Every structure is written in C-alpha cells, then in structure tokens.
Structure 1
C-alpha cells in the first residue's frame, strides 16, 4: 500500500531538506538540532514528554496547523529516537507513518508499523513511540471533548464510559479507508488557503467529517453500537424529552413534567432513559447543563466573566458541589477552563 500522504520530495535521513518549502503547507513551522528545544516545541504543540536519543543527535522538523478540535502536523526527528509520554488526559492522538518505521507501546499493548498501519493513543494511558532515523509521521491531536461530543451526537445519548479505540489503525480496512480519505481531503483543503478553509464553517465541517469517520471506522468499545440500527435513533417516547432538555437546559422542568411530555409515567420515563441512555432523565439534563457551562467558559473573557455567573446561568446554585462534579466530568476546575481556554 502506498503512503497515505506523500512524503516531501528531497533528501532524507542525514541529508534532509529541512526548509519550510520541503514539507506540506502549514500555518506553523519549526526546525531545530537542539534536543531541549525539540522537547519544548512538541510539548507546546502536542504533549509533555521525554525524548531519548541513542546517538545524542536530533534534526527535528515540525510543520503544523491548529484547528478547532484538531492539530494536524508533519513531524520527523532525523535520528533514531524514543518519545515517552505520560497520560494525554484531555486528548486522543492519531499517528500515521509516512516513511520509515515506528514501534509503539500503549499501556500493555505493543505494535510495529509502517505506512499501512496507524496508531491511536488514548487520554488514559501513557505511550512510548520508537522512531527510525528516517521516520516521518502525520501526527493528529484530537480534543477529547470534541471527539466525545460527536460520539454522543451519533449515539443520541450521553457518553458515560470513556471511549477506547484499538491501538492499531488498519488503513487497508474499508471503513478505515473512509477516515483516510476524509483526512486527505482536509489536508488538501489546508493547502488551498483561499478555499473552504477560509471560512470557519468550512473548517468545522471538514473537522467533523474527519472525527466522524474515525469514530465509525476504527474499532472501539462503541463500535458495535455505532453500527447497530438500535443505537441510531431514540425511542419516539423520549425523543421529545431529550429535544426539550437540549433546547432549554436553562429552563428545567420537574420529572413529572418531562414524563407528561413523553406521555409516560415517571417510572416508565426513568426506565426508558436508563435502558436507552444509561442515565436517569435528571442526570441527562445535568450533563447538558454542564456541557453548556463549559462551552460558555471556553468562549468567555476571564476579565469580564466569572465562573459563578456562568454557573448560575445554567441552573447550578451550590458552588462547591458544582466545582467537584465539573472536575470529575472534565478533569479540570471550571476556573481553569475559563483561564486557560
């Protein structure tokens, strides 16, 4: 199988062309022969890590483009190297080898890949990647919240169990090939700055297609449900309740009122939610409210907005309990979301 993305033309290994023109178009570009600087760059763009260099030499080139939920970059070290990363926490990561070989470990799993197998790393597990001297990878960082929001949309329910992809991304499989084509299309559009990527809506659509095709193509603990007819639609009795909760989370009703909307008894409504969405009706509503809080915090200026204002806007009144539950859900405090995003 040919490489998913053609490697830049020109010399390789120790006589590589490391100028910006030698790699695909990107918004940002860095080249360094200093190990500490290489670590700093990859930490800033992707993940904190340690870099082990058996020959004590490095010739790193990174060309990358940050998007809404993705960071897409071409990375090479120009030397045999070991990248050792802790848990990613708030990101998933997909690596596609363009040239050379890669040996990878994720938790207890190990796999060696060329350009016919990619890799998917999880937020919950540390990873080690061994690069051959001539290796170049397309490295894609995916925001965990964005990925899980799309998963929830496809499932028509909240995601209550962490998403776990298989490590090996088999690029020859038909469903995974759809992901590859979506990624190729995104990559080609990024090379045309006056095209669809000039519009934020266009970029969002391209990103969503890449994320959706990854969810539908790569085996995971949600794969069977995503491909079953049973998981593709909500029962007609609770669909209007879910729609009401999603459209008016700032105007919550009582459990009895939601049961009336569904035309069910309170107990039947609870049973249907648990069976279909694996949460109670009020847990589902609280999840929607938490998601709206986070969206507002991400979009707000910390100089003019407080967590308390946003919290109250979406129906939360107990600050301590809210902060504790927010941290459980998003792995950070609401104040950190407001300051850092």
Structure 2
C-alpha cells in the first residue's frame, strides 16, 4: 500500500493555481481584488479527494479525464454541465461525471467544492472483489449519488474525513492499515451509494461457509502480522468474495476481518515493545 500524497495550494492568481491542478483540469475566473483560492488534495492509491475553496465564483472544466469524478458542493449550490446534461447541485447532493466526457462546473462566490477521482479500473476491481465475479468495464454509473441515504451519508463522511486529512501519524491515513481501509471504504462506499447495473447484487444475501475458511485466514494473520492484510487480500487467499468472507467472519467472530487484523498487529507491537523495554533481560536461545 503506497503512502498518501498531499498537496496544498493557496493562490491569489487563478492562472498560477492551474499549474498545481490535475492535467485535465482548467480553472477560469474574472480577476478581482481580494481573490483567493485554496486547493487541498489527498491522493491514496487510485483515489484522490480534492477540496477547492474560493472567495469568488469560478468555472472549473474537466477536459475529458480518464477517471470517474464525483463532485460534491459543501457550501453553496453548483451548476454543472456534463456533455448534454445540466445539473444543479446543492450541498448534500453529488454528481458523477463519467469519463471521458468534458464537464464544466460553475460556482458562486464563497464556494467550497470537493472532487473525488477514481482511477480507471479501480472501481470495477473493487466491485469484482465484492461480488466474486467479473463485471462490466467500464462500469456505467448513475448520474447522481444519493447522499441522503444511509450508504450515501457513510460515503460522504469518509470523503470529508479524507478531505480534511493532513500528514502525520494521527491522521486518518496515518498508518498503512488505516490507509488500506480508507481506500476500500471510498471505493466500496461509492459502489453502495450510487446506481449501476450490479447495485442490486450487492444487497443479495450471500452464501457463507463453515469456520474452516475463517480459521485459515486467522492463521495467516497470526503468522504474518507484518503484512498489510485487508478484507480483499484475505478473501483472495480464501478464494471467496469479500462479502462472503465478511459474512462468515461476522457469524464466526462477531467482528469484521480488519478488527482481527488490528488486534493481532497491536498485540504483536505490544509484545515487541515489552521485549525491548529498557532494563528487561532478553532471553538467550
């Protein structure tokens, strides 16, 4: 799991801001006294969360990006044009801009907008891991994300947490295991929150196996606590879908796999600290 990348830009010249934005993004504004714009971007694996705040209204153009882009206005309404579709988005609403169609977003003064980008193939890979079978590529997503639903609220909460993340060990992205879970939550959360051809399949109950599969994965966790083991990697080890493995885990352990991974890693870290505590005699072999 790669380390997160952080980028912060604070400018009074929109032309200078463009030099720090993604290659396919253009920012247009009418110069005025006191104009400022701040862009904070966090990239974790194939997903990036970019929050842009400004004093004056701007026009943001996404010029045929290869990624899925989800736009979330946080403070004031935003007008978006995606291909031939026009959308008026209020805070609490989000729109999906599928590649590679050009998109333009117009903001009012004192705006605050988050753009979530998902790299090509990442969303389909996450869905295949959840379902345990191949899915359509590219995945056609619905135009909007319903942030008022339970799934939508949960996903938007993760997005806001990542948008506010800063470098450091206390951050939501401060350790490798946390980064893996956040990346999974961003991908799986979007798949649960928006419409697509396999959305109903995510709600269909899955068959679960006996405890043997769970024990095999627990043995792997105990034997290799240094590995970055997620629900996805454990499901692949057990030759199961993520949903099936998590169903087995809940039934047998009453927790999710990541909680057992964290427990074993913390126990091993505590043991190592105890072994190297000053004044403690180390046993000879």
1:33 to 12, 23, 31: 12
Q: Equivalents in 2 of 1:185, 1:34: separation in Å?
A: 28
Where in structure 1 do 4 or more consecutive aligned residues deviate above 4 Å? 184-192
1:71 to 48, 52, 61: 48
Ranges in structure 2 where 5+ consecutive residues have no aligned partner? 209-235, 238-285
Q: Which residue of 1 aligns with 2:75?
A: 99
* CA positional deviation for 1:80: 1.8
Going from structure 1 to structure 2, the CA distance change for 1:189 and 1:65 (only over 3 Å counts) comes to closer
2:59 to 50, 64, 82: 82
Q: Equivalents in 1 of 2:7, 2:165: separation in Å?
A: 16
Normalising by structure 1, what TM-score?
0.53
* CA positional deviation for 1:184: 4.3
Q: Which residue of 2 aligns with 1:311?
A: none
* CA positional deviation for 1:135: 0.9
Going from structure 1 to structure 2, the CA distance change for 1:188 and 1:42 (only over 3 Å counts) comes to closer
Q: Equivalents in 2 of 1:196, 1:116: separation in Å?
A: 23
Matches within 5 A, 1:1-341: 27-43=6-22, 47-53=23-29, 55-57=30-32, 58-89=35-66, 91-186=67-162, 193-194=169-170, 197-229=173-205
**SS of match in other structure, 1:204:** helix
* CA positional deviation for 1:61: 0.8
* CA positional deviation for 1:144: 2.4
Stretch deviating more after TM superposition (194-203 or 103-112): 194-203
* CA positional deviation for 1:88: 1.2
Normalising by structure 2, what TM-score?
0.63
Higher relative contact order (CA 8 A, sep 6+): 2
* CA positional deviation for 1:150: 0.4
